[in-house]
Amino acid sequence: MLIEHRGRRPVVPESAYVAPTAVLCGAVVLGERSRVLHGAVLTAEDGEVRVGADVVVMENALVRGRYAHAPRRDR
């Protein structure tokens, strides 16, 4: 299931797979050939979630993107 949150929609390339019972919410960006398996939830609450190419997010995983946990860009 793909859900828009705060005006942002998940980005899923054609080569990626999202199981029918997985949930992607908000600013979630999947890499090429990535896989999100059954029951996994990736939610971008006030930050962003980026999944790299060829990455597998296993069943029932929970991944939250929070702005406070984003890498610092001023270094």
Q: Report domain extents, the chain.
A: 2-67
Single-letter amino acid code for the residue at 44: A
The DSSP string of the chain is -EE-BTTB--B--TT-EE-TT-EEESSEEEPTT-EE-TT-EEEESSS-EEE-TT-EE-TT-EEEE-GGGSPPS--
pLDDT at 71: 60
24 vs 74, more confident? 24
Confidence of residue 75 (pLDDT cuts 50, 70, 90): very low
pLDDT band at 66 (very low <50, low <70, confident <90, very high): confident
Provide the β-strand partners of residue 11: 29
pLDDT in tens, 5-58: 999 999 999 999 999 999 999 999 999 999 999 999 999 988 899 999 999 999
Q: In terms of Cα–Cα distance, which of 61, 62, 44 is closest to 5?
A: 44
pTM of the full structure:
0.85
